[in-house]
Amino acid sequence: MIKSLIISAVLSSVLFFTGCQEKPAATSVKAVPAEATPAITQVIAEETIVDAGCGMCTYHIPGVEHCETWVNIDNKKLKVTGIEHSAHKSGLCKAGKHEVKITGSIAGDTIITKSIEVIK
């Protein structure tokens, strides 16, 4: 019985002292400077047909190191963001350019996409 009391006391002490550690200070969230977020320069509200392909395999965009969907609007290559779109699953990777129907907003070198559909 004494052995049980000693074990209980030791375990209680361990739990008590390990639970009293100081909590880490809350991390602050830094705001992104306004100049880092490009302004929307064009809105594509109606479905528009444009060329699309893989940024790495089709368009050979410098700095792109994996397959991602890019479109060509007015001879400007834009990265597709805003929604999940797989260049592999949609057949855009290593298959050359395809036409897509797209809606969204152009901001810098990206298009914040609301919809995209590969035309087969």
- Report pLDDT digits (tens) over 13-38: 554 454 444 444 444 444 445 456 67
Q: CA-to-CA distance for 88 and 69, rounded, in angstroms?
A: 9
CB 96 within 8 A of CB 51: no
Domain ranges for the chain, please list them. 39-118
Q: What is the pTM of this model?
A: 0.66
Say how many Å lie between the first and final Cα of the chain, rounded.
79
Give tens-digit pLDDT for 67-113: 899 999 999 999 999 988 888 888 887 777 889 999 999 999 999 99
- C-beta of residue 64 within 8 angstroms of C-beta of residue 48: no
The b/e string for 59-81 (b: 16+ C-beta within 10 A; e otherwise) is bebeebeebbbbbebeeebbbbe
